[in-house]
Structure 1
């Protein structure tokens, strides 16, 4: 039961159930107003800390009656070893130098895709929320710049259940933030994180990921719809299996006629090594062999068909396309 439900029950039980319907509605309105105030305050605070003007902090794409906006949840700074350790270090160093990267620390943007079509407002992933990382948790401010409140969101679609994609699903009351939305996630991804063996099998370094994912998914399980590879989950949106980064990672092709955009999530997780050497294992992936195979196949298709992409951790707004090069591939961002 969420905070509203708990207060409603409290009102009904008080004074031998003597509260009027008007009084109960007043209490509910007060709780909702407090939530809206906190959400607005969180958004303003994030904007102030980052020095961002959120009205211009997004990019947009139009496909027929579909509008896609890419907004920020901030950025994520991680040890370079998390990605680079399994790679051949002698061959890696020239790539790091080419892109002016540190081998010890990487900072990556967190790009959340918003889709609007008719009466629907859809989020692809929900960011990390407050408390996961000092520079994440800015999604509410970004949505506010588009005049989107949490209660306006009709659907939330998850690429996968890593913290920076899932943990923003709960609010400050530890209740579902997007409380009027339905949630959609791939069956294979759901089964993995809800498997009681995952918390031990995943390894000590990621055990907290498993605990956090299970808790949040349990909070929304009464309002979840599942899908598989090739399913049209929304009009014009088809799920695409891109396994490896997590066991059930999914991407989404948004199409209008012959024009399409691929929302990648983390199956292509950076703008440098993932493109230059997609065949290399990445320490960020659960199944490194499968993830490399996914990258190679997907990059080949994206380059050949010149499909625009939106990457959660790609530079700029994450929007661009893929070019094939003599030795691999190259991300060509838009707007930089």
Structure 2
């Protein structure tokens, strides 16, 4: 279980520095984006960073922002627009509109700093806020020892590079799933890919070219950092990977993109989002994984869950109920 010792992190107005963890104050990522400008009204309701413990490991959830857009036709492949709007209404969300948050995890064990995924990258409008938020909480890019990637969609890998196209974390080794690398770096797969995937093949090559010599591939069911074990959860992409972080008696399941919006896909685990490359497999993996998390009462962190992205899951009807952890900043 995650210990109830979570703390909010704050960046002050112009020239302020973060010298410690404050119990009751937060900053928006947008306000953190320009530390030279006095903070005005928050441009985003999403807090920038939220710290909690998993045993002796310290986890900081960092918001990379949130995208809101009209719901595309067929966003859920196997459900009607009316059914999707009913699910949104049940969660007190507006109809015909989708809001997707992005939450990167910073894990600190001893003196080691590790990022799980890297967000959308700089200059991406309402998202791409990882770098300024890291700066706001006093974490230098050079201090990151390891970056672990779950899969190769742009909202997870684009933050590996700066706006200039150089490595964003110059001292970090970048760990990627073997199965994911094998698929997206295969010229044959690229040549056979439907048009909707060709851009992603190109983006993968763009992102990893400047990282030549820094990338290590990992297999599933392996400890790839102290206490962090890779878990194969394919379907969303061929090499999509989740992680289990264990420390002492505590554990956190980092589900990556097993589920997109909880109001839709936790409550209706058989629904297939248009972003899943193999929707049937993704739904099977989702249900199998969630059955285990429910049985073990394990906490779960979701990349697209509402910030700070940590929750419990419980059975409800034919699906599951999403139960956010208690927000509990402490001195």
TM-score range, shorter chain: 0.7 to 0.9
> SS of 1:127's equivalent?
coil
Q: Which has the larger radius of gyration?
A: 1
Give 1:289's match in structure 2, choosing from 280, 283, 293.
280
Give 1:118's match in structure 2, choosing from 110, 116, 122.
110
How far apart are residue 43 of structure 1 and its match? 5.1
> SS of 1:238's equivalent?
strand
Is 2:128 aligned against 1:137? Answer: yes
The match for 2:56 is 65
After TM superposition, the score normalised by the length of structure 1 is 0.81
Give 2:89's match in structure 1, choosing from 97, 112, 126.
97
Give distance in 2, aligned partners of 1:307 and 1:320.
Answer: 9
Higher helix share: 1
Whether the 8 Å CA contact 2:165–2:210 is kept in 1: the answer is no
Q: Deviations over 1:224-252 (max 9, x none)?
A: 11111110001111000011111101111
Give distance in 2, aligned partners of 1:91 and 1:120.
Answer: 46
Give distance in 2, aligned partners of 1:264 and 1:82.
Answer: 26
Question: Residues 281 and 223 (structure 1 numbering): CA distance in 2 closer, same or farther, change over 3 Å?
Answer: same
Is 2:198 aligned against 1:207? Answer: yes
Question: Residues 49 and 151 (structure 1 numbering): CA distance in 2 closer, same or farther, change over 3 Å?
Answer: farther
Give distance in 2, aligned partners of 1:335 and 1:322.
Answer: 13
Unaligned runs of 5+ in 1: 1-40
The match for 2:289 is 298
Give 2:67's match in structure 1, choosing from 71, 76, 97.
76
Give distance in 1, aligned partners of 2:317 and 2:190.
Answer: 42
Give distance in 1, aligned partners of 2:117 and 2:282.
Answer: 20
Q: Which moved more, 1:180-189 or 1:318-327?
A: 318-327
Is 2:237 aligned against 1:237? Answer: no
Q: Report the count of equivalent residues.
A: 296
Give distance in 2, aligned partners of 1:274 and 1:47.
Answer: 40
Q: Which moved more, 1:194-203 or 1:133-142?
A: 194-203
Give distance in 2, aligned partners of 1:47 and 1:335.
Answer: 31
CA-based RMSD: 2.6
How far apart are residue 258 of structure 1 and its match? 2.8
Q: Deviations over 1:4-26 (max 9, x none)?
A: xxxxxxxxxxxxxxxxxxxxxxx
Pairing 1:1-336 to 2, within 5 Å after superposition: 44=35, 51=42, 57-81=48-72, 84-89=75-80, 90-131=82-123, 133-335=124-326
